[in-house]
Structure 1
């Protein structure tokens, strides 16, 4: 005599359902692992400063700030970015604009070429050898005229 409670039709799982659940479980596990694999990232890269960002910001400071070398119209008080005022392109302005008394900051040398003249300014911690340099095409305000010029910016890492 067989017990109906153990071998009833309702309690039987067909082979199709077993195969389906096996494939579904396998695909669900693979999907979970793929999502976990692609969602894991190294968050420390978000806090890393790109290597040339600091140089870029200081160059912007030299060329776009009226406290450094940028030309400022006296009537409108508008500051013209990328236009160097020749009356401001002096060593005193560089020293006031960029405090390099401490040797833990980068050193800069700025060479301005215009009207067949070259003027070079260096920060106090400049060591005299080129680490990295770039040339920028800019404008110069000199004696009421704005002319094209070339600025060669040399950079050195801090000691």
Structure 2
């Protein structure tokens, strides 16, 4: 695990995103998962958006979820039932991308930490529509003024 973090610290997140995007584009030439393409395009935007850290955190969560989705997809659809040409090549590109995703995940967490943030799940007060203060009752149940 330490070696993985060391590699992630030495590699630029932009380089990793470029590599994943190219692998995902080549992996989309056959019947393979294409949800990785928008995730990595979003990663480019999130990495270059410096007004808020919420997009890079969202990308990190989506990347972690895509690792799980890739494993499930490969276990369910890793064979070529319709003898589609190019399936093996596209599958190999997606497997290479899956192998590199943990490094990208650690690099993304490192980018979040370099921006002075931590990756915590408890910050729901920043969510759109969240109330900034405590709950206020509109009417007390034992008060006759509102009856």
**TM-score over 0.5 (shorter chain):** no
Q: Which has the larger share of strand?
A: 1
Greater relative CO (CA pairs within 8 A, separation 6+): 2
Structure with more helix by fraction: 2
Normalising by structure 2, report the TM-score: 0.24
TM-score with structure 1 setting the length: 0.22
Give the number of the structure whose alpha-carbon radius of gyration is greater.
1
